[in-house]
C-alpha cells in the first residue's frame, strides 16, 4: 500500500530531511585521511542527537541480516557498495567513501546518501561519483505527477548504462514516510511508461548505486551486511528523499 502524504506531512518530512542533510554534510566535512569510519559515525550521532532525531538504521535488522545494524550511518569504502558497518580501519589517501544516513523526527523518516573521495582523488572515481549524481538528478527530474515509476527507473538506468557502469542487481530506491522502507519499490533500471502512476503526495527515496567494473553482481562480506563488487572495482551511491508535487519534484534531503 502506498501512502499519499498531505502537504503538512511533506513539510514535516522536509524538517527530517534537513537533519539528514546536515548529518551527511558534517560527516563529509570530517572525513579526512587518517579518520576512521567509526569516528564519522560518532559525528553523525552528534548531529542527530542535537536535532532530537532518532536513527532508523541503528538496530535495524532486515531478514537477510545476521545481527542488528550497529551504527547510524552506513559507510562503504572503495569496493563496498552499500551497508558498510563503520569500522576502526582508518581512511587512506584516495579512498572512495559512500555514506548513507537516515533520521526520524516526529515520526517521519528521511534517507539520503553521498559519495566522495578523501585525499588525492582518482580521475576514474570522480567520473563514477559524478555519474551517480547525474543519474540521481535524472531520476528526480522524472519524478512528476502523471509519470510512472518506470520513467524514474529508465532515467536513472540510462545515465548509468551510457557511462558503461554496472547497476547493482536486486537493490534500488523505495517509498518512505512513517517507515524508512515503504512501497513502492523504485528500481534503478526499467521501461518508461510502465509501473505505478506518480501523484502529488507520494514520497520516494531515489538511489542509484553504480559499479565501476560494469558488472551488476555483488557479494556479501563476512560481516553479513556489507555488499561488495565481485570484481573488486569501486562503487558509488547517491540518494535523496523526493516528494512528488504538482509544482515539480521537491527534494526533502537537500541542505
Q: How confident is the model at residue 175, as a pLDDT?
A: 98
Q: How confident is the model at residue 162, as a pLDDT?
A: 98
Query: What is the DSSP code string of 60-115?
Result: ---TT-SS---SSEEEEETTEEE-PPP-SPPP-TT-EEEEEEEEEETTEEEEEEEE
**What distance, in Å, lies between the first and last C-alpha atoms of the chain?**
30
CA distance 73 to 1: 27
Q: How confident is the model at residue 47, as a pLDDT?
A: 98
Q: Which residues contact 50 (CB under 8 A, 6 or more apart)?
A: none
Q: How confident is the model at residue 12, as a pLDDT?
A: 98
Rg over CA atoms, the chain: 17
Q: How confident is the model at residue 194, as a pLDDT?
A: 98
Phi, psi for 212 (deg, rounded to 5): -65, -30
From first to last of its 255 residues, the chain has per-residue pLDDT tens of 899 999 999 999 999 999 999 999 999 999 999 999 999 999 999 999 999 999 999 999 999 899 999 999 999 999 999 999 999 999 999 999 999 999 999 999 999 999 999 999 999 999 999 999 999 999 999 999 999 999 999 999 999 999 999 999 899 999 999 999 999 999 999 999 999 999 999 999 999 999 999 999 999 999 999 999 999 999 999 999 999 999 999 999 999
Which pTM value belongs to this model? 0.97
Q: How confident is the model at residue 155, as a pLDDT?
A: 98
Q: How confident is the model at residue 103, as a pLDDT?
A: 98
- State the cell numbers at 91: 581512511
| Beta strand extents in 169-251 (DSSP E only) | 173-175, 182-186, 203-206, 209-211, 218-220, 227-229, 235-237, 240-243, 250-251
Other CB atoms within 10 Å distance of the CB of residue 247: 9
Which has the closest alpha carbon to 47: 97, 116, 114, 102?
102
Q: How confident is the model at residue 72, as a pLDDT?
A: 98
Q: How confident is the model at residue 81, as a pLDDT?
A: 98
Q: How confident is the model at residue 79, as a pLDDT?
A: 98
Q: Which run of H or of E encompasses 136?
A: helix 123-141
Amino acid at each position: 500500500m502506498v501512502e499519499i502524504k498531505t502537504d503538512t506531512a511533506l513539510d514535516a518530512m522536509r524538517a527530517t530531511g534537513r537533519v539528514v542533510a546536515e548529518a551527511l554534510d558534517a560527516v563529509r566535512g570530517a572525513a579526512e585521511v587518517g579518520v576512521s569510519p567509526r569516528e564519522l559515525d560518532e559525528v553523525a550521532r552528534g548531529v542527530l542527537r542535537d536535532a532530537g532525531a532518532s536513527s532508523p538504521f541503528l538496530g535495524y535488522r532486515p531478514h537477510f541480516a545476521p545481527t542488528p545494524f550497529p551504527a547510524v550511518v552506513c559507510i562503504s569504502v572503495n569496493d563496498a557498495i552499500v551497508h558498510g558497518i563503520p569500522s576502526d580501519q582508518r581512511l587512506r589517501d584516495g579512498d572512495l567513501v559512500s555514506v548513507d544516513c537516515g533520521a526520524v523526527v516526529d515520526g517521519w523518516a528521511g534517507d539520503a546518501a553521498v559519495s566522495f573521495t578523501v585525499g588525492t582523488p582518482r580521475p576514474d572515481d570522480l567520473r563514477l561519483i559524478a555519474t551517480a549524481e547525474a543519474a540521481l538528478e535524472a531520476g528526480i527530474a522524472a519524478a512528476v505527477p502523471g509519470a510512472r515509476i518506470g520513467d524514474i527507473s529508465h532515467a536513472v538506468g540510462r545515465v548509468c548504462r551510457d557511462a558503461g557502469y554496472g547497476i547493482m542487481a536486486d537493490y534500488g530506491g523505495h517509498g518512505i514516510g512513517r517507515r524508512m522502507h515503504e512501497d513502492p519499490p523504485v528500481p534503478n533500471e526499467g521501461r518508461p511508461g510502465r509501473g505505478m502512476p506518480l501523484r502529488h503526495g507520494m514520497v520516494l527515496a531515489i538511489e542509484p548505486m553504480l559499479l565501476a567494473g560494469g558488472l551488476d553482481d555483488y557479494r556479501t562480506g563476512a560481516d553479513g551486511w556489507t555488499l561488495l563488487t565481485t570484481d573488486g572495482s569501486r562503487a558509488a551511491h547517491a540518494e535523496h528523499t523526493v516528494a512528488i508535487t504538482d509544482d515539480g519534484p521537491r527534494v526533502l534531503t537537500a541542505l
